[in-house]
Structure 1
Amino acid sequence: MAARAGLGDTDTVPVRMDRAQLFEAVTSGCTGLISRIALSYEADPALRRELVQDILLAIWVALPAWRGDAALRTFVASIAQKRSISHVTRRAREPRQVELPDDLQSAAPPPDEIAMDKDMKQQLVASIQLLPIPQREAIVLCFEGFSYGEVGEILGISTNAAMLRCQRAKTALRAIMERKS
């Protein structure tokens, strides 16, 4: 029996592979997906690397539960999205270690000016991070090539709700990108 892995147009992953083989399929085919989902939640590169490692550990632990009902890529994206939400929630609860004065000004240009100096891809990433979390979740998965049905399955919402979130996110992204131009 084989299940559609979603790792490419022709790749399939046998459901009966052992955990190490499944994890190899995940690391070879889904690392970019995992990194991009983590990027949509964590801007700090060091913390993002930790988040990616946390996601990979969660996938390793969860792999025995994958039965092939959904594509392996969908299974991985669902874990990555949920682990990223946990990461953001945990970070929000941590106390600030240093209180900065209200009048402190940075010598560096504002983040939106830096994004304007970069190519279109970097502008898009910065714009996605400005979206409300529900829209951000949906549009990142949409950009990864998931159908509205798969986006709904990953996020635990209906297909119509997923389509609506993606459409609203696209509209908001256009407005954000036009303001930056």
Structure 2
Amino acid sequence: MREGEFAALLHEHAGLLSRIAASYEADPSLRDDLLQDIALALWKALPAWRGEAALKTFVARVAHNRGASHVIGRTRRPSTHGLDEDLADPAHGPESHAQLEQKRLRLQDAVRALPLTLRQAVTLALEGFSQQEIAAALGISANNVAVRLNRARKALKDALGESA
């Protein structure tokens, strides 16, 4: 793959990659480092892509694998920062915007607190991946994905309260 094509691929999946990185790293500077690591891992992995899964699924799998390695390789710090600051809906007023931001931060922190296997599945589900796509991205069965998502939902519901 040429550099221009790779740059286009990174641009096309920038939001997905940013949100996956944010699910693994709270610190913005470390998140940037993780995004660079993900980009390097993608550059190295792309020649091995055989087209058996969608490119988006392949990209997500590489990003999650790199994120998991990142978490395993270092001690996590408590979250003090958000996922992507551009996720809030600008159509709402300041109070509504603040409430949405608080909910988003609570969800983000709750997702980060999940065990790694549950975090991977729920992050992809929040990105709109189907259970089959999640299974392909994580290299597990669709039934295993369903189990992980059910456990993650229960854990998130417990962490966020019944109103979540």
TM-score > 0.5, shorter chain as reference: yes
Which sections of structure 2, spanning at least 5 residues, go unmatched?
81-97
Residue identity matched to 1:66: W
Q: 2:11 aligns with which of 20, 28, 31?
A: 28
Q: 1:111 to 1:52 in 2, by over 3 A?
A: closer
Q: Secondary structure at the match of 1:124?
A: helix
Q: Secondary structure at the match of 2:113?
A: coil
Note the alpha carbon deviations across 1:79-120, whole angstroms, 9 max, x for none: 00111111122224xxxxxxxxxxxxxxxxx969xxx97421
In the TM superposition, 1:6-155 aligns within 5 A as 18-92=1-75, 118-155=101-138
The question of whether the paired residues in 1 share the 8 Å contact of 2:17 and 2:63 is answered with: yes
The alignment's TM-score, normalised by the length of structure 1, stands at 0.71
User: Quick one: distance in 1 between partners of 2:143 and 2:40?
Assistant: 32
**Once the two structures are aligned, what percentage of the paired residues are identical?**
46
CA drift of 1:53 comes to 0.5
When you count helix as a share of all residues, which structure comes out higher? Answer: 2
Note the alpha carbon deviations across 1:131-176, whole angstroms, 9 max, x for none: 1111111100111111111111211211001011011111211221
The question of whether the paired residues in 2 share the 8 Å contact of 1:23 and 1:63 is answered with: no
Residue identity matched to 1:157: I
Q: 1:54 to 1:111 in 2, by over 3 A?
A: closer
The alignment's TM-score, normalised by the length of structure 2, stands at 0.78
List structure 1 segments (4+ residues) > 6 angstroms apart after TM superposition.
none
Which sections of structure 1, spanning at least 5 residues, go unmatched?
1-17, 93-109
CA RMSD of aligned residues (A): 2.5
RCO greater where, 1 or 2, for CA within 8 Å and sep 6 or more?
A: 2
Residue identity matched to 2:72: T
Residue identity matched to 1:168: R
Q: Which residue of 1 aligns with 2:156?
A: 173
CA drift of 1:67 comes to 2.7
